[in-house]
Structure 1
Amino acid sequence: MYFLGVDGGGTKTQAIVVNKEGVVLGEGKSGPANHQLCGMDCALSEIETAINSALSSAHLEKSDISFVQYGLAGADRAEDFRIIRGALETLPFKKWDVVCDTLEGLRLGSDNHTGVVLVCGTGTNAAGRNIHGLEVQTGGFGYLYGDSSGGTHISEDAFRRMIRSYEKREQETVLTKHIPEYLGFNSVEALLDHYLDNNISDIPASLAEIVHQAANSGDQVARNILSDSGHELGLAALSVIKRLNLQGQPKNKIPIVLVGSILQKGRNPFLMNSLKSTIEKDVQHYELIIPTLDPVYGAVMLAMDQCNIDITSSKIEEKLRMGAI
């Protein structure tokens, strides 16, 4: 038996193939697969590219795959699933399922697939599942709909505060030097003129890296940006906990799984401390879990769950970690 996991986000898509023993046989990568951002045709093309690359490196055909699990950003509402399922049905796999990428993250960090998951990568999302199988989602639709975290938001906030600092509406910050340099300009004025003259409104999410660097070097504005982001993530976690009544369930610690590049790789102390302090205003009995594996491995675990393979007792999870690409 062979299993295929596909993780499609706002920046990249990753696919891996494993056998029933949990040995990783192949991997493929491609561009973004969030249909809300790039359209379903583009998303499907990137999904196929990642799958074909993974199968090629594993020396397998599509017909060899026992089950495919897709975990896709943008799979949020019934209408999203209608669009996505219609596209995925065109692929020649007999057995497959699709979930929001939040749930593959939850599976990655929670053995019984219950608790809270916070996603903070290009965008942000929060979701959870209780012991009764009830699932809820908080956020995931952007700033207008209440989200105030994720790489895109952090970058836009930094850009705004750079302008405000340059115009003496906010305290001084090294962002007025580092952001123009990162974007290829020698001053804020040159950057501002170019963006206004060309009606540019898109700020690259990768600018969040500059914010992390500035915060680590002692810049207070950058630290405030990351603290604000952590606070918003904490509020999202509390929302899921309250909506699922997780505090009223058995007295085990509530698992809060943190996934996405900003949480798994960034781990900035100002963001993390703000996240924890916000949660602890209402909840003390919890556990933060930061998986060492990429979210796509959660998709593989869900695929194996679908075929009733116990990955814990058979030490498959250990093999997946050893085989991480």
Structure 2
Amino acid sequence: MKHILAVDGGNSKTHAVIVNESGDLLGQGFSPGTNYTGTGPALFLSRLQSAVDQAMNKADLQPGEIDYVQYGLAGADRPEDRVILNQLVSSMPFQHWGLECDTLQGLRSGSPEYLGVVIICGSGTNAAGRDKYGKTVQIGGFGYRFGDAAGGAFMAQETFRAAIRSWETRDDKTMLEEMVPKELGFSTMGELYRFALDNQDFSVPSALTHVLHEAAEKNDQTAISLLRNVGEELGKAGKAVINQLPALHEVMIPIVLNGSVLQKGKSPDLINRLKETLENNGIHDYELINSTILPVHGSVFLAFDALGIAIPYEKIHAHESFQIGKEDES
């Protein structure tokens, strides 16, 4: 019986799972994010080892009993990044392994043929694609300064800004003016504003992304507008990927939505604007795939592919610990 170790190393969390070739989940582990560009090499390895050790201990396996390891890692965006990451993971005690950017791991999680487009909106954002020839393209992923205008951190900041602008009467009133300070433990926006000014280490928490969704559900027009803007940005990123992979026009294009904002939030305002943006740019033959499975699935499937083993999709998809929001972090 072959054993597979799969790792999803994202910006905010690292998830390691061990499955056997029958699709049984034997163990899993969690640690903070492992984007080496932010953590540095030493902390990257420490966090990666922690998640892997937890999974190995729960599965009661030794490194020599793992037949293949698939790493899906944030930060593996450029060839020079991959050189560094390959050197780092080669120090792990496994003989056979593969490494892929977590973006393309996300594509594989929703595309059995491993082609199409993936649009990611988690703590950050990017988009990528792969055609039938194996050609890949990535758009974004390097932050606001490099053109990104989506992702949970960006959305939280826009939510905070909207609350301030409403309080100052620069813009129309929004319920975010009351919801934001309440979420952060303050009585008024003015109180929060003064605290943020007087405490230079204050940073806008990502939890405000949830507040943004809640306000939109209550029909707050400012919140709806912010979510639509993000949907448009994600649609533009998807369009850019397709423009650079013309072979995708030969098929019905799978467009996989990945990341917590898309997989947990599922805002109709955001999704509808994303679709409108694609279609306004002449992209009509596509299938939007917004699954409930965790990104680590992509690494599981890539490992099965590498070993040439048929994937027991039904069993893997049915396991509750592989579902968004149901992973066991105990």
TM-score by length of 1: 0.95
Do 2:137 and 2:244's aligned partners in 1 also have CA atoms closer than 8 Å?
A: yes
Do 1:12 and 1:31's aligned partners in 2 also have CA atoms closer than 8 Å?
A: yes
Matches within 5 A, 1:157-236: 157-200=158-201, 202-236=203-237
After superposition, what is the alpha-carbon deviation per residue over 1:10-67, rounded to whole angstroms, capped at 9, x for unaligned? 1111111011111111111111111223323222211111111111111111221111
Shift in Å, 1:82:
2.3
Give the aligned partner of residue 111 of structure 1.
112
- CA spacing shift, 1:200–1:170, aligned 2, 3 Å: farther
What letter matches 2:238 in structure 1?
A
Shift in Å, 1:159:
1.0
User: Match of 1:70, SS?
Assistant: strand
Do 1:164 and 1:170's aligned partners in 2 also have CA atoms closer than 8 Å?
A: yes
After superposition, what is the alpha-carbon deviation per residue over 1:77-111, rounded to whole angstroms, capped at 9, x for unaligned? 12221222222111111111111111111111111
Give the aligned partner of residue 21 of structure 2.
20
User: Are 2:298 and 1:302 equivalent residues in the alignment?
Assistant: no
Report the Cα distance in structure 2 between the residues aligned to 1:39 and 1:163, rounded to whole angstroms: 35
What letter matches 1:29 in structure 2?
F
Do 2:233 and 2:274's aligned partners in 1 also have CA atoms closer than 8 Å?
A: yes
User: Match of 1:51, SS?
Assistant: helix
Shift in Å, 1:291:
2.1
What letter matches 1:243 in structure 2?
Q
Report the Cα distance in structure 1 between the residues aligned to 2:155 and 2:100, rounded to whole angstroms: 26
User: Match of 1:37, SS?
Assistant: helix
Cα root mean square deviation, aligned? 1.2
Give the aligned partner of residue 287 of structure 2.
287
Do 1:108 and 1:301's aligned partners in 2 also have CA atoms closer than 8 Å?
A: yes
Report the Cα distance in structure 2 between the residues aligned to 1:37 and 1:212, rounded to whole angstroms: 28
User: Are 2:124 and 1:123 equivalent residues in the alignment?
Assistant: yes
- CA spacing shift, 1:112–1:247, aligned 2, 3 Å: closer
Do 1:293 and 1:324's aligned partners in 2 also have CA atoms closer than 8 Å?
A: no
User: Are 2:318 and 1:322 equivalent residues in the alignment?
Assistant: yes
| 42-51 vs 171-180, greater mean Cα deviation | 42-51
Name structure 2 gaps, 5 residues minimum: 322-330
Give aligned pairs, total. Answer: 319
Report the Cα distance in structure 1 between the residues aligned to 2:242 and 2:27, rounded to whole angstroms: 37
| 167-176 vs 182-191, greater mean Cα deviation | 182-191
After superposition, what is the alpha-carbon deviation per residue over 1:230-251, rounded to whole angstroms, capped at 9, x for unaligned? 00000000000110014542xx
Do 1:246 and 1:254's aligned partners in 2 also have CA atoms closer than 8 Å?
A: no
Do 2:119 and 2:255's aligned partners in 1 also have CA atoms closer than 8 Å?
A: yes
User: Match of 1:52, SS?
Assistant: helix
Shift in Å, 1:201:
5.6
Give the aligned partner of residue 36 of structure 2.
35
User: Match of 1:158, SS?
Assistant: helix
User: Match of 2:207, SS?
Assistant: helix
Give the aligned partner of residue 326 of structure 2.
none
- CA spacing shift, 1:109–1:52, aligned 2, 3 Å: same
Report the Cα distance in structure 2 between the residues aligned to 1:280 and 1:274, rounded to whole angstroms: 10
Give the aligned partner of residue 67 of structure 2.
66
Name structure 1 gaps, 5 residues minimum: none
User: Match of 2:263, SS?
Assistant: helix
Report the Cα distance in structure 2 between the residues aligned to 1:180 and 1:296, rounded to whole angstroms: 35
What letter matches 1:259 in structure 2?
N
What letter matches 1:273 in structure 2?
N
| 154-163 vs 194-203, greater mean Cα deviation | 194-203
Identity %, equivalent residues: 44
User: Match of 1:258, SS?
Assistant: strand
Shift in Å, 1:324:
4.0
User: Are 2:6 and 1:5 equivalent residues in the alignment?
Assistant: yes
Do 1:24 and 1:324's aligned partners in 2 also have CA atoms closer than 8 Å?
A: no
After superposition, what is the alpha-carbon deviation per residue over 1:137-178, rounded to whole angstroms, capped at 9, x for unaligned? 000000000111110110011111111111111110111111
Give the aligned partner of residue 270 of structure 1.
269
Do 1:15 and 1:54's aligned partners in 2 also have CA atoms closer than 8 Å?
A: yes
Do 1:114 and 1:129's aligned partners in 2 also have CA atoms closer than 8 Å?
A: yes
Report the Cα distance in structure 1 between the residues aligned to 2:27 and 2:132, rounded to whole angstroms: 34
TM-score by length of 2: 0.94
Report the Cα distance in structure 2 between the residues aligned to 1:248 and 1:32, rounded to whole angstroms: 35
